[in-house]
Structure 1
Amino acid sequence: MRLNALAGMPELGLSVVTGHDELERTVRWVVTTDLLDPGRYLTGGELVLTGLIWRRSADDSETFVRALARAGVSGLGACEARSGDLPPDLVEACRRHRVPLFHVPPELSFAEVTEHIVRHLSTARASDVTAVLDRHRQLVAGAGLDPVLEMIGRDLGMRCWVLTPSGRLVSGSSPLDPGTATALATTFLTARRLPCTRAGYSVFPVDEQTTSRVADWFVAFEGRYSDWPEERRALAGELAAVAAVERVRLDDRLSPEGRIAQELVRLVVTEGKASDILPRLEVTGLAGAPGYVALAAAAHGALRPAELRSVIKELLQGPAAPAVGVVDDEAIALVPADDSDLTARVRAAVQHLSPALTDTRLTVGVSGAAPVEGLRGAVEEARFARRLAEGRPGQGAVVGHEELATHVLLLASVPDDVRHVFKVRLLDPLRSYDQVHKADLVRTLEAFLQCSGSWTKCSELLHVHVNTLRYRIQRIQDLTGRDLSRLEDRVDFFLALRLG
C-alpha cells in the first residue's frame, strides 16, 4: 500500500505533518521502535512508529530521523506519549531529510495502526506480518521474549531460541537440550560471518554493529535461512531487534541492585568501613556466606568496560548472582565460596569464548576463599593473579590463587632481563649441544628432575639404559659447570626450565 492510502483512512485519523509530496511511497512493513538509532534494524520501505521515548533533546531528533532516511524508510508515525504533540525539532528534521511525518492521535495505539495496515498488505505475507503485529502487541504489553518466541513457533512453525555466547538459554519457543545450546554458542562464536547456517540451524546476531560478539546475544532458528522467503528473513531481523531491546532492559547497571553492587566493589577496593560494606552485602544477597571468592578481569582491545562487566556476570552464572563492579577499567566480582573449583569453571568458560576474542585479550585472576573481613585481601589477590595472567599466552588467560603460592609467584616478580640471563646461562649450552649432536640433554634434564634424581625411574621413563643416562647427566654437568647431586643446582635447573 502507499502512504496516501494510509492518509485516507478516516478510521485511523492520521494527519500528514510534512512530506505531502512524498505520499506515493510504498509501505511494505511496519516497525515500532524506541531506539535512538534504529537504522541497523531497518531494510527500507518501512512505516516506523515511535512514542519518542528516545528523545532527550532537540539533537536526538536529528540523529533519529537521519538514521531513518539513510535506511530508506517510507514514513514515520509519531506521538509524544505524555502531551500527544510532536516537537518542532522532529518536524524540522523530517522536513530536512524528506521523511514523510504522520501525527498519530494519542488515543490510537500503535497496535491498531499496525492492524489496519496489515489488512491492506498482500495475503501472501499475511502470516508473517500478523506475527509482527502480535510481536508489537506483546512488546507494548511488556510481556518479554517468551510469548513472542512461543507465538512464532506456534503460528509460523519457526522454532527459535535466544541465547548468550556461553550457551545459556534466555528464551525459546520450545525446550532446547544443553548440548545443542552449547553447539549453537560455539557456532555463533566461531562463525566468520553472521548470519550463518550450520547443522540445520540458522544463527543471527542480536546487535552485531555495536556490541562485541562475546558480550552479545544471538537468535537461533531451526532451518536454513537461505531457503526462506524475504518476509521470513525480515522477521528474523525483527526478532533480533526485540531481543536487543530485552538485553538492554535486563542490563542491571542502572538498576538499584546494579548500583549497589558497584558501590560494594568500590568500597572493598578502597578499604571502606565494614559498617558500609555489610548493608550492601545484604542488599546484593551475598550476606551470610561462610566465605567469598573475588575475581578480577581486564580486557585489552575492543571489549569496552561495560561489555567486560556483562561477560564476567555471564561467566559467573550460578545459584547466587555475583556482585560485579568496574574500577579503573578492571571488572571486580564477588561470589559466595562453595565446594566447586571456580578457577576451572572460569578457565573453561574463557576457553569457550576465545574464538571470538580476535580483537581483544581477556585476562582473569581468581582469589582463594576469604571471610567477609578479608574481602579486601581477596580482591588484591585476584588482581595480582590477573596481572600474572598477562604474561600467559593466548587471547584468554586465567590464573587462580593456587598458583600464587608456588615458584610462579617468585618468577613473576623477577625483572625480564634477569630471568633471560638466568635461563640463557644454564640452558643455552645444552640446547646448542643438542642441536649440533642431535642429543637429548634438555629432555633428559627435565626427566631427571621430574624423577627427583632417581636413576632407575628416569632411565625407565626415557627408555634408555642407566649407563646412557649417567653419560648424559655427566655431559650436562660438564657443559654447565653444575653438580646435579646438589639441591641448589637442581633448583636452579628447575627454575630455568620453568622460564622456558
Structure 2
Amino acid sequence: MRLRSLLAMPELRLELVTGEDELDRVIRWVVTTDLLDPGRYLSGRELVLSGLVWRTSAADSQVFVRALARAGVSALAAWDAVNGTIPADLAEACARHRVPLFRVPEDVAFATVTEQVVRRLSGARAADLTAVLDRHRRLVAGVTEGAGLGPVLELVGRDLGMRCWVLTPTGRVVAGAGPPDDPARLAREFLTAPRLPHRPAGTDLSLFPVAPDTTARVADWFLACAGDAADWPAERHALVSELTAIVALERARLDDRLSVAGRLTGELVRLVVSGAAADEIVPRLELTGLDASASFAAVSAVSRAASGGPSARLRPGELRTVLREALPGGTPPVVGLLDDEAVALVPAEPGRDIAGELHRTLLALAPGLGGDRLALGVSDVVTAAELRGAVEEARYARRLSAGRGDAVSVVRHDELATHVLLLASVPDDVRHMFKVRLLDPLRAYDEEHKADLLLTLETFLQHSGSWTRCAERLHLHVNSVRYRIQRIEELTGRDLSTLEDRVDFFLALRLS
C-alpha cells in the first residue's frame, strides 16, 4: 500500500502537510508512539501515528523526526490535541529529513486510522495467499498441456492484475500480450543491473532472471513484471518464483539440442566440416528444414576469457544459444557445436551484411559477457556444395578476430589478406613454434633489460626499414635504432637487411 492511497480513503480525511514528492513510498505497518526517540521500536516502512505528547520545545521536533528518518519510516501522521494544530517546527523538521507529514483530523481517532490501514494491508496479503495454490495448479497444468507461456501470463494478469512479459537479452519478446515499452532498453537494464530483481528508473516494471543459478545472464531469458518488487508481500514473490521456474521449463523444452532436429543439426555441421560429399550434405540440409538450392554464409564463433583472466564463463551450449539469438532474422539458421566452437550455416542472399548485423547485436549483449570475449568470423555467401570452403573461410576469419582483443570482434571474409589467409591455414602448433623461435629471444631480453627490442622491430618494419622514420617515430637517435637492430640480429641470427628475414619477422609479429 502506497502513501497516496491514504489520501483516497474518505473515512480518514488525512491532509498532506509536506512530502508530496514521496507519495510513492510503501506502508508496511502502522505504529503509534509518543516517545521522543522511538527508533529502537521501528524497523522501516511504517506509518507512524503520534499525538505529540513528547514535544516540549521546537528542538524536540528535530530529535523525533531525525529518529524516524534513520529508522526508515514511510510517513508521520500527527495531531496536537492540546494545542489543536500541527507545529510549524514539526513541519520544518519533516521537510528537512524528507519524512512525509499528514494531518489527522481532530475527530478521527488514531485507532480508526490503524484499523483502516491494517485492514487494507491484511486484505491484500490474504488475497494473494488464498489464490497462490490454485494459481500454481493452473500454471503448471497450462505448460504441461503444451499451451505455451501466453496463457500462463494471461492467467497471472487476470488473477493479479499484473502484466508480465518474457524477453531475451536481445530484447525479443518471447511471450506476453503486446510488447512492453522499449524492450531493447529493458534488455540493456537486465544485462547491466548490478543485482536482480531490478527496477529500471522511470518504469513501473521489475526484471527477474529465469535461471540465474544455471545460465549466464547473456544466454538467459528474463521476466518483466508490472510493479515494484520491493513493495510486494512474500506471497507475490513466491508466485513470481513459480513463474520463473515454469518459464525455465518452457525454455528447456524449446531447446533443440536434445531433440531429433538438434541432433540432425549437429550431424550436418560435422559432415560439412569433415568434407563430406554434396550428395550427403544436401539431404541433411533438407531434413533440418533448409532449402538446399538456397545460398548460405558460414559463421564460426568462440568465447574466450579476457587476457590474464580465468577460463571463459560462457559454456559452449550457452555460446550456441547466444549465436542463435544474435543471428539475423528470417529462415532459422543451423547452429552446431564442435568442442568449444559454435558453427552456424545461415541462409543468406548475396550482398547481405550478416557480419555487420551480428556485430551490432552482439555489442548490445557485451555487458552480459562478464569479461568474456567473443570472436567470430563470417564467410562469403556460397551454394550448398561450397559449404565446406565457407566454414574454413569463417574459421580463418575467426582466428584473425581472436587476436584483436575487443569484447566482441567480427571479421568478414573480405578482410582476409593473402598472408592472413595463409597463416590461418597453418596448424596451431607450427604457428606457435614459428613465433616462439623468432620472438622469444627478444621478449626475454626486453624483460631483463627493458630494451624495447620488440617495439623497435615492429616500428622498423612498419616504416619499411627506414632508419630515419623509425628513429623519429620512437623519438630516438638514428644510431640508437641501428644499435637495437644489430642486437635483434645477434639474438636471432637473422639479417634485417634481407627481404626474406623481414618477411619472417613480419609474419611472426602478426601471429603474436
> Common fold, TM-score beyond 0.5?
yes
Write the distance in 1 (CA, Å) between the matches of 2:196 and 2:130. 24
Write the distance in 2 (CA, Å) between the matches of 1:270 and 1:488. 35
Q: Are the equivalent residues in 1 in contact too, given 2:320–2:335 (CA < 8 A)?
A: yes
Of the structure 1 ranges 349-358 and 388-397, higher mean CA displacement relative to structure 2 is found in 388-397
Counterpart for residue 38 of structure 1: none
Q: Are the equivalent residues in 2 in contact too, given 1:451–1:458 (CA < 8 A)?
A: yes
Counterpart for residue 180 of structure 1: 185
| Displacement after TM superposition at 1:169 (Å) | 2.5
Residues 91-136 of structure 1: per-residue CA shift (max 9 Å, x gap): xxxxxxxxxxxxxxxxxxxxxxxxxxxxxx9764436865874756
SS at match of 2:207: strand
Counterpart for residue 476 of structure 1: 484
Alignment RMSD (CA, Å):
4.5
Closer/same/farther in 2, CA of residues 476 and 461 from structure 1, 3 Å limit: closer
Q: Are the equivalent residues in 2 in contact too, given 1:286–1:335 (CA < 8 A)?
A: no
Counterpart for residue 406 of structure 1: 419
Counterpart for residue 127 of structure 2: 126
Match of 1:332 among 343, 347, 356: 343
* 2:378 maps to 1:370: no
TM-score (ref. length: structure 1): 0.58
Residues 221-260 of structure 1: per-residue CA shift (max 9 Å, x gap): 3554222111221222122123123212322345564454
Write the distance in 2 (CA, Å) between the matches of 1:485 and 1:270. 44
| Displacement after TM superposition at 1:343 (Å) | 4.4
Closer/same/farther in 2, CA of residues 123 and 476 from structure 1, 3 Å limit: closer
Match of 2:435 among 419, 422, 436: 419
Of the structure 1 ranges 292-301 and 330-339, higher mean CA displacement relative to structure 2 is found in 292-301
Q: How does 1:77-156 map to 2 (within 5 A)?
A: 124-126=125-127, 133=135, 135=139, 139=143, 142-149=146-153, 152=156, 156=160
Counterpart for residue 203 of structure 1: 207
Counterpart for residue 322 of structure 1: 333
Counterpart of 1:181, as a letter, is: L
Of the structure 1 ranges 481-490 and 213-222, higher mean CA displacement relative to structure 2 is found in 481-490
Closer/same/farther in 2, CA of residues 460 and 375 from structure 1, 3 Å limit: same
Counterpart for residue 103 of structure 1: none
Write the distance in 2 (CA, Å) between the matches of 1:241 and 1:202. 17
Q: Are the equivalent residues in 1 in contact too, given 2:355–2:411 (CA < 8 A)?
A: yes
Write the distance in 2 (CA, Å) between the matches of 1:431 and 1:301. 28
SS at match of 2:430: coil
Counterpart for residue 240 of structure 1: 244
Match of 1:379 among 387, 391, 394: 391
Write the distance in 1 (CA, Å) between the matches of 2:397 and 2:149. 39
Write the distance in 2 (CA, Å) between the matches of 1:329 and 1:441. 36
SS at match of 1:414: helix
SS at match of 2:331: coil
Q: How does 1:156-235 map to 2 (within 5 A)?
A: 156=160, 158-173=162-177, 174-187=179-192, 191=194, 193-197=195-199, 199=201, 202-235=206-239
Write the distance in 1 (CA, Å) between the matches of 2:337 and 2:167. 25
| Displacement after TM superposition at 1:335 (Å) | 0.8
Kindly tell me the number of residue pairs found equivalent between the two proteins: 369
Counterpart of 2:251, as a letter, is: R
Q: Are the equivalent residues in 1 in contact too, given 2:328–2:354 (CA < 8 A)?
A: no
Counterpart of 1:414, as a letter, is: V
Closer/same/farther in 2, CA of residues 489 and 129 from structure 1, 3 Å limit: farther
Counterpart of 1:479, as a letter, is: R
TM-score (ref. length: structure 2): 0.57
Closer/same/farther in 2, CA of residues 491 and 301 from structure 1, 3 Å limit: closer
Match of 1:267 among 259, 266, 271: 271
Of the structure 1 ranges 316-325 and 346-355, higher mean CA displacement relative to structure 2 is found in 346-355
Q: Are the equivalent residues in 2 in contact too, given 1:430–1:476 (CA < 8 A)?
A: no
Closer/same/farther in 2, CA of residues 196 and 336 from structure 1, 3 Å limit: same
* 2:317 maps to 1:313: no
| Displacement after TM superposition at 1:211 (Å) | 3.7
Q: Are the equivalent residues in 1 in contact too, given 2:303–2:372 (CA < 8 A)?
A: no
Counterpart of 1:126, as a letter, is: A
Residues 404-424 of structure 1: per-residue CA shift (max 9 Å, x gap): 843453695535354223114
* 2:509 maps to 1:494: no
Q: Are the equivalent residues in 1 in contact too, given 2:438–2:505 (CA < 8 A)?
A: no
Q: Are the equivalent residues in 2 in contact too, given 1:297–1:364 (CA < 8 A)?
A: yes
| Displacement after TM superposition at 1:334 (Å) | 0.8
Q: Are the equivalent residues in 1 in contact too, given 2:442–2:453 (CA < 8 A)?
A: no
Counterpart for residue 14 of structure 1: none
Write the distance in 2 (CA, Å) between the matches of 1:334 and 1:451. 41
Q: Are the equivalent residues in 2 in contact too, given 1:429–1:480 (CA < 8 A)?
A: no
| Displacement after TM superposition at 1:381 (Å) | 4.3
Identity %: 46
Closer/same/farther in 2, CA of residues 485 and 203 from structure 1, 3 Å limit: same
Closer/same/farther in 2, CA of residues 340 and 432 from structure 1, 3 Å limit: farther
Residues 192-225 of structure 1: per-residue CA shift (max 9 Å, x gap): x543455465332212344444432121335542
SS at match of 1:184: helix
* 2:301 maps to 1:288: no
| Displacement after TM superposition at 1:379 (Å) | 3.0
SS at match of 1:238: helix
Write the distance in 2 (CA, Å) between the matches of 1:484 and 1:383. 33
| Displacement after TM superposition at 1:451 (Å) | 4.1
Write the distance in 2 (CA, Å) between the matches of 1:183 and 1:384. 32
Counterpart of 1:290, as a letter, is: S
Gaps of 5+ in 1: 1-120
| Displacement after TM superposition at 1:164 (Å) | 1.9
Q: Are the equivalent residues in 1 in contact too, given 2:316–2:339 (CA < 8 A)?
A: no
Write the distance in 2 (CA, Å) between the matches of 1:327 and 1:431. 38
Counterpart for residue 40 of structure 1: none
| Displacement after TM superposition at 1:375 (Å) | 1.4
Write the distance in 2 (CA, Å) between the matches of 1:415 and 1:497. 11
Counterpart of 2:281, as a letter, is: I
SS at match of 1:332: strand
Residues 473-492 of structure 1: per-residue CA shift (max 9 Å, x gap): 33333433477665345434
Write the distance in 2 (CA, Å) between the matches of 1:430 and 1:332. 40
| Displacement after TM superposition at 1:322 (Å) | 0.5
Closer/same/farther in 2, CA of residues 447 and 393 from structure 1, 3 Å limit: closer
